[in-house]
Structure 1
Amino acid sequence: MEPAVISVFTSKELGFKGNPAAVFLCDKMLNTEEMQQKATVIGLPATSFVNIDEEGRCNVRWFAPDAEINLCGHGAAAAGIFLSDHLNKKDIMLCYDGGEIIVTVEEDIFHMSLEAIPIIRELPECPESIREGLDIPVLGIYETANKHLILTDSANAVKQMNPDFDRLRESEIFGYAVTAPGDKVDFVSRTLVPHVNQLEDYATGSSHAMLVPFWAERLKKNELVADQLSERGGRFYTKINGKEVTLSGQFERLS
């Protein structure tokens, strides 16, 4: 069976291509080895494997080409859009090991609700290998239960950053969202994952689950617009309500 491929957080107006994910609908969930093998062959940033069980629950697991992903925002959005088409339903609840994600689809716009990822602590200093590997001003580095968050001084620093991934790999920290205030939007970011093959993600829902509460507190705003300044680019429309983050964006069905 050929998977559907859907790219999310796109923007035709801005020329942003978003983040593509493959979606497989499985009669019964494949085993881990089979899913990893398929994701490796497909080679997209994420492949979502979906199974609708006897109780009608939509169960999902996500795999990058080289490893399973515990929480994949763009893969969840793609799975929700696919299931909205398949089931002819506007609202889809996805069940995964970490909880539930609700995806709502309205024409070419989707909305996705995630649990906010709070800052655990600010590190006293940035590891030298990361500071030198990024080669941009580091104003702070913060630990979360997901990736780390690295604050820099400008959108231009984020956009022009040319990471030295060999140097970055000298730190055991798995990945980080590098972020700054935006010039035309509330904030910008790029997500780097030096310990996996992809190195940089294109448009990252899980990163925005921590970036949105961080910037909402700093900017004293509950609704923010953000751009991920990757090679493909991603546009995020976001809201925070207590411990819940809603990410909205455009999408494109590629196959």
Structure 2
Amino acid sequence: MKPVIISVFTARELGYTGNPAAVVLTSEILEDQEMQQQAAALGLPATSFIFIDKNENCNVSWFAPDEKIELCGHGAAAAGIFLSKYLEKPEITLYYKGGEINVEVSEDTFSMRLEAIPVLKLISECPLPLKEGLGIPVLAIYETANKHLILTDSESSVKNMNPDFKRLRDSEIFGYAITAPGDKVDFVSRTLVPHVGQLEDFATGSSHAMLVPFWSERLNKSEMVAEQLSKRGGRFISSITGNEVVLSGEFMIQE
């Protein structure tokens, strides 16, 4: 089947075009090398490969153009949206190596449920390559089981940050979400991945699985609106209950 391209966490009224992912439905389980080659040829931030097994379980794997992705939030959303339309079902459960993700889909909006990613520890001192490479105030840096989380002082710092990716690569830290309180929304962020070709992600579901519990505790709120200030822009409607994060947003299917 021809790949379908779906952009998620869009916001038409703000001109946000979200994060695009290709979705490929396969008739058999593919080797990682073959999926990697297809993802490289497509050249999008993520490609979701779906295989529906004999038990009708929807199994998904994600690949960036240059590496496999263990958890891809926007790729999961795109896969769920595709399957909802393909199977004519409003709710889809995706199975991946780390567990399962539930995606609910309406006409042009979706919601997805992810396990919250908690902060593991506060790092006492920001590594010098990050401090110099980001060029913005670093108020705190936290380690999580996914990316690192970096707190800065303002939305302006996040928006106007001009990362020096060469300097950032002097640190072994793979990726990080830089975040601050928002001026008109609860919080804003950008996600940097200097060790891969993309460098910066556009609208990152996995980052928000850690940002939502972080800001929920700081703001004492269980429902929040967030924006990712990448060049494409992304908008997230979020809630948290216990260790479950719900991310909702708009989507567009490329015709």
Q: TM-score, normalised by structure 2?
A: 1.00
Q: Does residue 247 of structure 2 align to residue 218 of structure 1?
A: no
What CA deviation, in whole Å up to 9, does each residue of 1:12-54 have, x standing for no partner? 0000000000000001121111000000000000000001000
Match of 2:154 in 1: 154
Give the AA of the match of 1:56.
E
Within a 5 Å distance, the mapping from 1:157-236 to structure 2 comes to: 157-236=157-236
Shift of residue 107 of structure 1?
A: 1.0
How many angstroms apart in 2 are the aligned matches of 1:29 and 1:39?
15
How many angstroms apart in 2 are the aligned matches of 1:140 and 1:118?
15
Instruction: Tell me if the contact between 1:202 and 1:228 (Cα under 8 Å) persists in the aligned partners.
Output: yes
How many angstroms apart in 1 are the aligned matches of 2:226 and 2:53?
36
How many angstroms apart in 1 are the aligned matches of 2:92 and 2:250?
17
Match of 1:55 in 2: 55
Match of 2:237 in 1: 237
* Aligned CA-pair RMSD: 0.4
Shift of residue 131 of structure 1?
A: 0.3
Match of 1:89 in 2: 89
Secondary structure in 1 matching 2:12 = coil
Instruction: Tell me if the contact between 1:103 and 1:111 (Cα under 8 Å) persists in the aligned partners.
Output: yes
Match of 1:112 in 2: 112
Unmatched 5+ residue regions in structure 2? Answer: none
How many angstroms apart in 2 are the aligned matches of 1:168 and 1:209?
23
Instruction: Tell me if the contact between 1:29 and 1:49 (Cα under 8 Å) persists in the aligned partners.
Output: no
Match of 2:22 in 1: 22
Shift of residue 254 of structure 1?
A: 0.8
Shift of residue 2 of structure 1?
A: 1.8
Shift of residue 81 of structure 1?
A: 0.2
What CA deviation, in whole Å up to 9, does each residue of 1:230-253 have, x standing for no partner? 000000000000000000000000
How many angstroms apart in 2 are the aligned matches of 1:163 and 1:121?
24
Shift of residue 106 of structure 1?
A: 1.1
Shift of residue 142 of structure 1?
A: 0.1
Unmatched 5+ residue regions in structure 1? Answer: none
How many angstroms apart in 2 are the aligned matches of 1:254 and 1:163?
31
Q: TM-score, normalised by structure 1?
A: 1.00
How many angstroms apart in 1 are the aligned matches of 2:8 and 2:67?
21
Match of 1:65 in 2: 65
Match of 1:98 in 2: 98
How many angstroms apart in 1 are the aligned matches of 2:200 and 2:153?
20
Match of 1:251 in 2: 251
Please identify runs of 4+ aligned residues in structure 1 that moved more than 2 A.
none
Secondary structure in 2 matching 1:20 = strand
Give the AA of the match of 2:84.
S
Secondary structure in 2 matching 1:209 = helix
How many angstroms apart in 2 are the aligned matches of 1:205 and 1:215?
15
- Count how many residue pairs are aligned between Structure 1 and Structure 2: 255
Q: Percent identity?
A: 68
How many angstroms apart in 2 are the aligned matches of 1:60 and 1:28?
12
Secondary structure in 2 matching 1:237 = strand
Shift of residue 7 of structure 1?
A: 0.1
Secondary structure in 2 matching 1:13 = helix
Shift of residue 115 of structure 1?
A: 0.1
How many angstroms apart in 2 are the aligned matches of 1:29 and 1:247?
29
Match of 2:121 in 1: 121
Instruction: Tell me if the contact between 1:116 and 1:209 (Cα under 8 Å) persists in the aligned partners.
Output: yes
Shift of residue 200 of structure 1?
A: 0.1
